[in-house]
Amino acid sequence: MESGRLFFDPVGHGNMLYLGSGDPVFRGSRSVMNMEETSKRRPFFSSPDELFDEDYYDEQLPEKKRRLSPEQVHLLEKSFEVENKLEPERKTQLAKKLGMQPRQVAVWFQNRRARWKTKQLERDYDKLKASYDSLMSDYDSILNGNEKLKAEVLSLSEKLQAKEMARAATSEQKSDPLLAVADHVPPLQFDVKVEDRLSTGSGRSAVVDDDGPQLVDSGDSYFPGSDDYPGCVSAVEVEHGVMSEEDDGSDDGRSTYLTDVFVAEQQQHHEEEQPMGWWVWS
């Protein structure tokens, strides 16, 4: 038996469904052909037995589902470029021109819109991904720069400390013996580690005080922007001005930062890429 199928209406409307190029769809409220036309082409099956009746197929093989000709597709594509929605008049005209059923034209446009939307989603995804990758790259280089600056600050601080200690030793040798007693008081502030001196801020002196609470190195930024170092901000803050107080370079800060920028990027992208004024990103 030559292939070719008939479909029994699964919903039970009692309508046989069309199959074959140019054949009409007869479908409840949306039929595009009248009963007279239908009866010329194919009667309804009254039972599943009739559906599988070999003789019926031998006599009245329905057309196979056919693809549209290249010419038909070309014209439909051109029409779609002009306007991707199909008003009834244009549908009828196109159908006449192409020798198709109006329903087929409508279906073609429907499917074409779906394909266009899929492609558009792919394009949008690619653009967003590129944007995200670029932001990540920027972020990593900023992070690197920040690390370098931290190392530089540490190195300079150590040099400064060494210089001050050398100067203190020199002045001790030259000093008046009467004042030497006072000089024996250890310069406590120099005993404090560099990290402590630069650590965050309580705004308190870094001098160790046995009675008071001990300073603890929080591990936070070397430039907290606190009273200790007014005007000093991290490289990331300088670069983008978007980091919040919690953004201490940890993963959390990173994700917040990226999310904010990413969303902003998305919004901008969305405004630019609104396609043809009919499909709305949801």
**Which residues here bind DNA, judged by CB under 7 A?**
3, 5, 7, 9-11, 15, 17-19, 21, 25, 27, 29-30, 64-68, 73, 85-86, 88, 103-104, 106-111, 113-115, 117, 278-279
Nearer to DNA, 97 or 167 (CB): 97
Burial of 184 from C-beta contacts in 10 A (0-12 / 13-18 / 19+): exposed
Beta strands in the chain (DSSP E): 7-8, 16-17
Nearer to DNA, 64 or 204 (CB): 64
Query: What is the separation of C-alpha 222 from the centre of its chain, rounded to a whole number of angstroms?
Result: 33
What's the closest the beta carbon of residue 11 comes to DNA, in angstroms? 3
What's the closest the beta carbon of residue 73 comes to DNA, in angstroms? 6
Nearer to DNA, 85 or 148 (CB): 85
What's the closest the beta carbon of residue 127 comes to DNA, in angstroms? 19
Nearer to DNA, 23 or 228 (CB): 23
What's the closest the beta carbon of residue 152 comes to DNA, in angstroms? 53
CA 206 to CA 218: how far, in whole Å? 14
What sign does the dihedral 150-153-157-159 (CA atoms) show?
Answer: positive
Quick one: which of 202, 204, 172, 203 has its CA closest to 187?
172
What's the closest the beta carbon of residue 8 comes to DNA, in angstroms? 8
Both ends of the chain: CA-CA distance in Å? 48
Amino acid at 43: P
Query: Which residues sit opposite 17 in a β-bridge?
Result: 7
Q: Count other C-beta atoms under 10 Å from residue 98's C-beta.
A: 19
Question: Radius of gyration (Cα) for the chain, nearest Å?
Answer: 40
Element (H, E) at 206: none
The tokens describing 204, both together, are 């308190």
What's the closest the beta carbon of residue 96 comes to DNA, in angstroms? 16
Nearer to DNA, 35 or 169 (CB): 35
Nearer to DNA, 17 or 154 (CB): 17
